[in-house]
Structure formats: C-alpha cells, structure tokens
Amino acid sequence: MMRQLIENFPQQLADAFSIGKNAILSTRNQEIRNVLITGLGGSGIGGKVVAQLVEDEANVPFYINNDYVLPNFVDEHTLVIVSSYSGNTEETLAAMDCALKAGAQVAAITSGGAVLDLCKKYELTHIIIPGGKPPRSQFGYSFVQQLFLLCHYGIIDAQWIEKLSGVSSFLESKQTEIIALAQELCAENENRIPIIYTERAFEGVAIRWRQQLNENSKLLCWHQVFPELNHNEMVGWDAGSNCYHVMMLQTSFDHPRSRMRMEISKPWIEQKGALVSIVSALGENRLEQVISLINLGDWLSLLLAEKNNTDPVIIEAIDHLKGELAKR
C-alpha cells in the first residue's frame, strides 16, 4: 500500500492542484499582519516546508504551531491555517478553538471530521481533500492547498500557482533518477542510525525525512541544521562512532557560507567514523528542489522498511497512545 502511495505522489500533486484551482474561498475581513499554521505530524509538516519555501517573498511573519495552545499574539489580524488530515486531531482541534476565541481569521484543510463540522458551523474558509489514507502519505494535498490559501489571502504572489502547475510533471520525469538515488542511500545505510543535516532554510525538508524514517522505517534518527550545528553538535562527534549515516541535503539555494561549512564538516565527521553522503536536490527552482528531496526521503523510508522486513503502514506506538488518551 505505501509503495503505491509513494509511486502516486506526482499524480497526487496534480490532483491537489486541481482541488486548489476549483476551491471556493471567502474573502478576508481584516488586514492580515501575521500567519500561523497549526497541525501535527503528517498534517503539520507541510506548514513548516511552505513557510520556509516562501519566507523570502511573504509579506508578513509566519509562525508554525504543533501544540494544543496558541501564542498570545493571535488576534483578528492573524490568519490561522488549520491543517488536520482526519479532522479529528485533538491538539489541532484545541488550537482551532483557541483561534476562534481569539477572533482570528481561520481557514482549514481537512478531509472531514470535527474540523469540517466547525468550518460549516462558523462558515469558515476551508478546502476538503480526499481522506482514508495514512496522513503522512498525503503530504501533497496539505502542501499545495496551503500555497493556494496564501495566494488567495495575498500573502504571496500568484506566480506560485504557475510554479505549482508544472511541479507534478517535473517530478514524474525524475522518478527513475530519484528511485536510483534512494536505492544508493539505502544500500549505503547498512543498519546505521540515520542523521539528516541540511541548511537552515530547508529544515522542514529534514524534519519530513526524519518523520518518514520514524514512521515508515521504524527507525530512530535525528536532524540538525547548518550553521547552528557547527556551534554545538559538531563537538559531540569527538566521541566517535561508526554506527551513524549522515546524509547532508544540499540545494543550489544554500547560503554560500553554509555550503562551505558542509564541505569543512564532512571530512571531520568522517574522521570520527561516520559515513557521510552528500544528497543533491534535483530541479531548477526552489519548489522543484524541495519537492524532489521530499520524494527522495519518502522513497528512502520505504526501501529501508522493505530491507528490514518492516511494514511501513503500521504505527502501533501511535495507535496505542491514541487509544490510551481516549480512555482519559
């Protein structure tokens, strides 16, 4: 099932684009001075990726929220984008309630559930996406709809819609190359603990990789970003170990000094026993490179799961936690 979902990711982007183009969205009723995107896990990561993708062009500050509560600055001038695939995520519902009480302008992306019920009750802007799949496999829907909402509310320029229109065909044309890269990384891993390093502006992509390796591959791993890791984590490598596989994700949009830091750090980490792989994004523009890296991480998580005879769909720990919470 997960293999088919990942194979269909280019088509998912095309379907998501069609949904966004046809969405009927209400007009804003107050000046928007800041944007907050709230969501958890597979539903929430799209917000982090989108915020970093458009940060050089967005005309207001962004805040990403992964909690029950919202910061005090949220008011009638805040656009709160609620992202919950199922529509029943308890943290997101609590945050949505906070947004409504604060008088924020609320827009939602969901397949149904309580979030959709609240949207109908309060006549909130919302986009309905297809349901019934693992939320982490439906990244394209929340990611694309968030960009459509930001364009609709005037936070980013409409040129993003044009960029989105071609990303599905771009990704489809790169599938053979992306799968081959994933196979290389999978073969190199050799039961090592994955570590994902990237430039600060692409941390959302690194988080997505970590989440997919956690859920699909059932692996513990972590991520860090340049230049911050050079001020702390770099010293931790003095302990030395050959049980780690560092994957440095690079784009042509990396800050030149951060790229230099990667080049200096790589041999230092290798001297401490770790395997270091340089992973270069495919594509010409920032959107293409982000999407290609995300798809590559998805494929890698699947291949590692298959290599270790692990079912990428089952998430027993999360199901157990939700069951216990429901009793209390």
What residues are annotated to the active site? 215, 231, 322
CB 224 within 8 A of CB 180: no
CB 212 within 8 A of CB 263: no
CB 150 within 8 A of CB 35: yes
Task: Provide the β-strand partners of residue 105.
Answer: 79
Which of 112, 116, 117 has the alpha carbon at shortest distance from 86?
112
SS (H, E, C) 125-160: EEEECCCCCCHHHHHHHHHHHHHHHHHHCCCCCCHH
SS (H, E, C) the chain: CHHHHHHCHHHHHHHHHHHHHHCCCCCCCCCCCEEEEECCHHHHHHHHHHHHHCCCCCCCCEEEECCCCCCCCCCCCEEEEEEECCCCCHHHHHHHHHHHHCCCEEEEEECCHHHHHHHHHHCCEEEECCCCCCHHHHHHHHHHHHHHHHHHCCCCCCHHHHHHHHHHHHHHHCHHHHHHHHHHHHHHHCCCEEEEEEEHHHHHHHHHHHHHHHHCCCCCCEEEEECHHHHCHHHHHHHCCCCEEEEEEECCCCCHHHHHHHHHHHHHHHHCCCEEEEEECCCCCHHHHHHHHHHHHHHHHHHHHHHCCCCCCCCHHHHHHHHHHHCC
